[in-house]
Structure 1
Amino acid sequence: MENIYQNPIKYYAMHRRVKSDLERYIQSGWCRNRFDESLRLEMLYWLSEDGMQRQSAVHPEVRINLLGDLLTEISRVTVSNERVYSVTLCPLEFACPTHKARSYDLAPLTQWIQAELLGLNFVGIVDAGLYPDLKAVSYALGLVSWHVHGMVWGVSAAEMKAIKADINERHSPLFEGPKAAHSARLVEAHNVVEWARYMAKPSTFKYRTEDHKRARRLDQKWQRPERASGGELLKICSAQAGLAMADLLVATGKGRSLIGRVLRAGRP
């Protein structure tokens, strides 16, 4: 898949295309036959101008504006020559069956993140990913993974490695192969910008998983991202219906004041 996070024009176009794709699908006969009227009307509201004024987490302009304010604040970190790391936390315990995603309570996830990263400077955005082919006894219909992508700064490589190892020792991943916690040093300024774009991307991806032994043999990743469309796109986005972007932000340490400045800058 093309690295769209390197190209701002294509990246912003992706955000707006998701909105048009959703609106077109919601108004189609296919959607009317599969989803109830209340869900369709609710989604159209959160994609509207009114939804944007209420800082809807599914409205593209809200995410684009937040990204601009976030990059302004993060640039202050990078010019101070602090070490910056990308961080993804994706443990199994914060996944839920697809049909329960709309009523999922994010509070335990954000509280867990704050406890795990206590004492660090961290800012992150909660994301939802659809795994239609992951099946277990209680996840017969596939699952939605609630996870976070963020940045940590002001720690050494050894400290970051130890934190990641500790989380991975105590928490199971979604499936065999990858780990529950990932991190990487963001060496160049453009790496920080691209990662921030990834953090703020629309929650519109589904993931196909590969057997980890086969993936290693073929030198492939354990999961293959695909852009969701139609009913799958609506399922992922509707999980965040009614949420404001502020509901998806989580921070510790100096990240708290950074997020405060971002939210103040984005108030309509």
Structure 2
Amino acid sequence: MAEQTDEYAVVVGATGTLGGAIARRLTKRGLRVVAVGRDREKLARLAGESELVVPCRADIATDEAIDTINGAIGGPVRMAVMCAGLPVRGSALTIETGGLATAANIKVDGLVRLLRAVEHGLGQDSRLVVITGFLAAEPTAHEAAPGAINAAVHNLVRQIAELLGPRGTTVHAVSPGPVDTERIRTIGRRIAEERGITLEEAMDEYRKGSSLGELVTVDQVAWAATILLDAEARALHGSTLAVSGGRLKGIF
């Protein structure tokens, strides 16, 4: 456990598997973490794990989240993490009409809302981190929203890097491959149903996408996000950290 500081971190999506893991690691680095999510009970459980967690019930898909998050911050912002998940699933043939717009409101507009909520607290050596996904560079037929929307997020990350760089704040994307969570199994079940295969066959296809034959773990993604606190991470400003286990073949 690092010595506690007066600095804050903000994690949007803290009640999710990845966001929760990142929040826990950030408290171990001594930061007071504003945990942003919609589920009051999950926020309370997370806050019960550490006195450094500040529960903040807000929906990043709405503009009201800006003031709510801003009001929960009581000091300089060392790191802000956008880790909201997408509820929209399906290929271009099966995704609900308007699904891409819904996804863009959460991930793209949501990133803008987070930026505006924390902007006053960002300064020299602050970090703005966005968890994206490898489908932005390696699209598949089955996931229209994660591919298209995360590609837009990568573009926005580079724009924001140009805006914040002069004040010494660095901006980063962390792009995992499929992560070993219940969520990926839910997606695998849907793909299995669409293609007439078993869930295990669908999961094996995910694993075979990596030359290691394995999925990325939650702890690996959380580690990648939190090492960006290190001073050396300034060299990664405006770039994407691929945490794909060798799955990524394209170039961001």
TMscore range, shorter length: under 0.3
Q: Higher relative contact order at CA 8 Å, sep ≥6: structure 1 or structure 2?
A: 1
> What's the TM-score, normalizing by structure 1?
0.24
Normalised by the length of structure 2, the TM-score is 0.25
